[in-house]
Amino acid sequence: MANVDVFRRGARARAAVMTARLRRLVTCESPPGAGPELAACADLLQAWGDAALGRRGRRVVLDGLPHLLWAAPDQRVLLLGHYDTVWPSGTIRDWPFTITGTTATGPGVCDMKAGIVQMLTALELLPDTSRVGLLLTCDEESGSGTSRPLIEEQARRSGAVLVGEPSTEGGDLKVARKGGSVYRITVRGRAAHAGVEPHRGVNAGVELAHHILAVQAFAAGETSVTPTVLSAGTMTNVVPESAVLSVDVRAWTREELHRVDRLVRALTPRLPDARLTVGGGINRYPLLASVSTPLLRIAQSVGAELGLPTVRGVAAPGASDANFTGALGVPTLDGLGGVGGLPHARGEYVDVARMPERTALLAALTARLLATAPDEVADERRPPVEVRTVS
């Protein structure tokens, strides 16, 4: 393995380039499901990725969505990220990329375009990328519906997966994540004139209201069950004939996800002649600390050699594509992206001053993994690592 000082100096020398790349990448909007915008962003990232890895990547188009893959024949390490954001096209016009001091803001700057810039720069610092794969997907924010098989395929042929999602605001890595489920509850009622003969109708909105209250009661302890998107009715003078409710579920264990799943699927109509359909289900199982802490130990060792503040691991309630790879039992470490906060909010930000140190950490960690036998990575004889939970 190369001396870690090479990575530290190399990352610092590229600080201005990383900031310029971040500006360009944030300005290149990549809204969920927006084919033309995603394709334009993929063009930019493919050029950068080809140069960083020294080989041409493959564009994997699934249901019109362009995912980017640079697979390695003997893939010891997979760097995983996504370039879609939650922000609709045009957001950049009223919320442009801005740097104040060392704080950069803009749509997707934290989740997770800073992480992508750091991953690409880390690859440039490695003396040999022939055993390193890179996968950048474009549907993570909408549930990874098309990319999941691709993610799992690449994870299975990798010795370890390093995920470029943002860290905590303090720079902690993420070694455990809640699993999640998404449901769509559809109600069919019967339309009628709301003023003349409402009694002839079956009010889908009222039926839906019963289930909004019902699903909230399924929450228990740290398991959240949250009604989110809902709609009902068409006209103010018509009894609603249909209504739809989306429900978000998060839990630390598989057992809890299955408990809520059984309860949601057991829902029955409350109003006579109303009909109920439940779609969706468990989307991601939890990322367990047991598959992450072996990599955290190595990251802590590398961080100490780089002279960084103590590298810590936390359990985070949000889910990511790390849930998929960890559920396969593949050693997975998340939160290796930008140090920032407020993802999915107008104030999301990243500290550009910390991008070089995070890039050096990722490069040195990847190099160490390439030089470490797989059985040494998961050595269970080592003492446990303390993991705290963040809200």
Q: Are 276 and 321 within one domain?
A: no
Q: Are 273 and 347 within one domain?
A: no
Give the C-alpha separation, 344 to 173, whole Å.
19
Say how many residues make up the chain: 391
Give the C-alpha separation, 86 to 111, whole Å.
9
Give the C-alpha separation, 237 to 29, whole Å.
41
Residues 6+ apart with CB under 8 A from 6: 125
Structural domain containing residue 96: 4-178+286-389
Q: What is the pLDDT of residue 386?
A: 56
Q: Are 298 and 226 within one domain?
A: no
Q: Are 65 and 195 within one domain?
A: no
Residue ending a domain, choose from 282, 307, 337: 282
Quick: pLDDT tens for 252-293: 999 999 999 999 999 999 999 999 999 999 999 999 999 999
Q: Are 223 and 111 within one domain?
A: no
Q: What's the chain's average pLDDT? A: 95
Global pTM value: 0.90
DSSP string, 102-113: TEEESTTIIIII
Q: Are 380 and 250 within one domain?
A: no
Residue ending a domain, choose from 258, 282, 306: 282
Quick: pLDDT tens for 209-250: 999 999 999 999 999 999 999 999 999 999 999 999 999 999
**Helix, strand, coil distribution of the chain in percent, nearest 5:** 40, 25, 35
CATH number of the CATH domain containing 197: 3.30.70.360
Of 9, 106, 6, 58, nearest to 356 by C-alpha is 9
Handedness of CA 36, 41, 42, 46 (dihedral sign): positive
One-letter amino acid at 166 equals P
Residue ending a domain, choose from 246, 263, 282: 282
Q: What distance lies between CA 70 and its chain's CA centroid? A: 19
Number of domain units in the chain: 2
Mean pLDDT of 97-117: 98
Q: Are 71 and 114 within one domain?
A: yes
Q: Are 53 and 196 within one domain?
A: no
**Biggest alpha carbon–alpha carbon distance for the chain:** 81
Q: Are 66 and 160 within one domain?
A: yes
Of 302, 322, 337, nearest to 155 by C-alpha is 322
Would you say residue 378 has pLDDT above 70?
no
Q: Are 162 and 14 within one domain?
A: yes
Would you say residue 382 has pLDDT above 90?
no
CB 118 within 8 A of CB 173: no
Q: Are 190 and 231 within one domain?
A: yes
Reduce the DSSP state of residue 179 to 3 states and report it. Answer: strand
Cα torsion through 184, 389, 343, 323, rounded to 10: -50
The DSSP symbol for 319 reads -
φ/ψ of 115, rounded to 5, equals: -65, -40
Quick: pLDDT tens for 161-193: 999 999 999 999 999 999 999 999 999 999 999
Q: Are 324 and 368 within one domain?
A: yes
The two three-digit tokens of residue 160, written as one number: 């370890």
CATH number of the CATH domain containing 108: 3.40.630.10
The DSSP symbol for 308 reads P
Write down the residue that tokens 């104040």 correspond to.
Answer: 100
